[in-house]
A and B are shown apart, each in its own frame.
Chain A
Amino acid sequence: MQHVWIVLGVLFVLLNVAAGLIWVERRMLAMWQDRLGPNRAGPLGLLIVLADTLKLFFKEDWIPSFADKKIFVIAPAIVVASVLMSFVVIPFAPGIVVADLNIGVLFFLAMSSLGVYSIVLGGWASNNKYSLLGAMRGASQMIAYEVFMGLSLMGVVMMTGSFRLTDIVEAQRSVWFCFTQPLGLILFFIAGIAETHRLPFDIPESESELIAGFHSEYSGMKFGMFFIGEYLGVTLISAMTVTMFFGGWMGPEFLPGWAWFFIKTFAFILFFILLRASLPRPRYDQLMESGWKVLLPLVLVNILVTGAVLLYLKG
């Protein structure tokens, strides 16, 4: 029965983290922008999470008459399900991992590549010009950055010699990969922001140009699903960065492994929010061209240099 408990525990923690991020993000944005943020409901405004969720449930769950109804319903389901599936391979602490696959990194890449469908299908099914524009732009952004997302992790895999995430964490016992693979870390994080389409790369939404883009026709908890999916995606990329580059659950002895993992992951979630508070959105053509022409060659250079140096050191 151990597996059932791990699965349930992981899902419970993740969904609560995603809900809690509603409050964290708004408070942090407010703090960095010299505002107060939500502070009325409950202590420190924490009950805003509950209020928001209930509000979404009691909004009209409206499917437009001009929309493709089946796909309109499937699209928000895909985003949450695919992100939740990606968490299968992430080791939260020694022994706490849903499935410790020997192709863990690839499983993460496969599942995160499915996220494209939620955007394309959501935007297409809405049958709204703005939604379709947002969907097409968002999808081509995500696929462009997906190409080098996998490659940016290959440096780490080469140093470990394994795709299994627990092996990768164990390999960082002496030195974290953020010191030996700095370029890989930066490239992976940029790709991660583009994959989760967060600011500054929120091309599919871009509310000032496309009135919320691919989900402007959504309401109620269907919209809420995109919302949860976004927060889960932020958590996923943070957790993955910590696992691959910042030693996962490793840390000084006075705290247990899972605590270190959560502290590090939370630091990256805060970094995501800080980016949103501080950076403007690039133009679409700038985003695409920098992805293909700058980042892709850089990631290839990173792999080749890593390989050459490691082979040279081996003699």
Chain B
Amino acid sequence: MQLLNILLDIAKTDSAEGYFPIGLQLLFAAGFVATMMVATHLLGPKRKTADKLENFASGIPTHGDARTPMAIKYFLVAILFVLFDVEVIFFYPYAVNFRELGWTGFWEVLLFVGFFLVGFIYIIKKGALKWED
């Protein structure tokens, strides 16, 4: 119990101990979600009818299940998202430090953005972001 109290009264957040309340919140949030799911499972009625064996399509005849390949467009969007997301990560350490880094840091980032823009313009010129072919 004493250990718990020591852990609970930590306010210093630059150390890893500041993450303890997050675990607490995760525990309670997961508990809430699990309770709701179990409750609705227990409370609701169960009726099995033949209609429920088909995919729902708002009344029109169903066209089968969804295990079909998707368009390659989505893959292209996803891979560009991964690339841009990783590039964006580099801006985060710059944003907190940019006052100390001054103009040198600014030119460095400008060069980085320059390369970024070259790639971006290439993507647009190639029509990778155009949805209609």
A61 to B78, CA, bound (A): 33
Asked if residues B29 and A57 are in contact (CB atoms below 8 Å), the reply is no
Query: Which residue of B37, B88, B130 contacts A150 across the interface (Cβ within 8 Å)?
Result: B88
Asked if residues B18 and A98 are in contact (CB atoms below 8 Å), the reply is no
Residue A263 lies at the interface, judged by CB distance under 8 Å to chain B: no
Known: A1-B8, A61-B41, A143-B78. A99 touches B19 (CB 8 A): yes
**Which residues in B have their C-beta under 8 angstroms from that of A289?**
129-131
Asked if residues A80 and B84 are in contact (CB atoms below 8 Å), the reply is no
Asked if residues A293 and B129 are in contact (CB atoms below 8 Å), the reply is yes
Asked if residues B131 and A77 are in contact (CB atoms below 8 Å), the reply is no
Least CB distance, A87 to chain B, in whole angstroms: 8
Known: A61-B40, A77-B37, A136-B74. A307 touches B98 (CB 8 A): yes
Least CB distance, A291 to chain B, in whole angstroms: 9
Known: A136-B70, A147-B81, A303-B91. A11 touches B28 (CB 8 A): yes
Mark contacts of A140-151 with chain B using CB atoms, 8 A cut-off: 1 yes-contact digit, 0 otherwise: 100110110011
Stretch at the interface among A157-165, A250-258, A264-272, A273-281: A157-165
Asked if residues A88 and B78 are in contact (CB atoms below 8 Å), the reply is no
Query: Which residue of B24, B37, B68, B88 contacts A4 across the interface (Cβ within 8 Å)?
Result: B24
Query: Which residue of A2, A77, A136 contacts B33 across the interface (Cβ within 8 Å)?
Result: A77
- Within 11-70 of B, Cβ neighbours of A (below 8 Å) are at 13-14, 18-22, 24-26, 28-30, 32-34, 36-37, 39-41, 43-47, 52-53, 55-58, 63-68, 70
Asked if residues A84 and B25 are in contact (CB atoms below 8 Å), the reply is yes
Least CB distance, A31 to chain B, in whole angstroms: 30
Residue A30 lies at the interface, judged by CB distance under 8 Å to chain B: no
Query: Which residue of B5, B33, B78, B99 contacts A310 across the interface (Cβ within 8 Å)?
Result: B99
Binding site for B on A (CB under 8 A): 1-4, 6-8, 10-11, 15, 56-62, 64-66, 73, 76-77, 80-81, 84-85, 87-88, 98-102, 106, 124, 126-132, 136, 139-140, 143-144, 146-147, 150-151, 154, 157-158, 161-164, 211, 216-217, 220-222, 224-225, 284-285, 288-289, 292-293, 296-297, 300, 303-304, 307-308, 310-311, 314
A80 to B77, CA, bound (A): 26
Asked if residues B36 and A221 are in contact (CB atoms below 8 Å), the reply is yes
Asked if residues A285 and B132 are in contact (CB atoms below 8 Å), the reply is yes
**A286, closest chain B residue (CB):** B131
Asked if residues B13 and A66 are in contact (CB atoms below 8 Å), the reply is no
